[in-house]
């Protein structure tokens, strides 16, 4: 079992009908928990789930708007192939799949 805290810094620019729109969610901390299970000495699975909530601002043509609040919950399952070549360091190759659950509450 483990826990992580990471810093999130999202920023998106896109063009809508010829107008450049800057989408800027506030920077925030993502909290994450994980569980690792060793199936064999050389192979393990890790399930991790995180959560971050942030306010989203839009700006275009010199105007700014508080668009709403974004909740992001990533769920990731990873497999790890471990190589025990050094007793002080555990090297591994990781692969996995994930899905991000997003909920956006728009300001009225």
- At 54-75, the pLDDT tens digits run 999 989 988 888 889 999 999 9
Q: For residue 1, give both structure tokens.
A: 């079992």
pLDDT averaged over every residue in the chain: 92
Q: What is the C-alpha separation between 15 and 21, in angstroms, rounded?
A: 6
For 59, the domain range is 2-106
pLDDT at 10: 80
pLDDT at 101: 97
Predicted structure pTM score: 0.76
Total domains, the chain: 1
C-alpha to C-alpha distances, 9 to 12, 14, 64, 74, 107, nearest whole angstrom: 10, 17, 19, 15, 21
């Amino acid at each position: 079992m483990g826990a992580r805290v990471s810093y999130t810094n999202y920023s998106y620019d896109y063009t809508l009908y010829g107008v450049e729109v800057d989408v800027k969610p506030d920077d925030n901390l993502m909290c994450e928990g994980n569980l690792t299970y060793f199936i064999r000495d050389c192979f393990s699975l890790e399930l991790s789930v995180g959560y971050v909530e942030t306010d989203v601002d839009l700006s275009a043509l010199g105007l700014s708007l508080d668009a709403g609040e974004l909740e992001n919950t990533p769920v990731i399952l990873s497999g790890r192939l471990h190589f025990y070549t050094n007793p002080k360091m555990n090297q591994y190759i990781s692969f996995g799949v994930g899905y991000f659950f997003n909920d956006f509450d728009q300001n009225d």
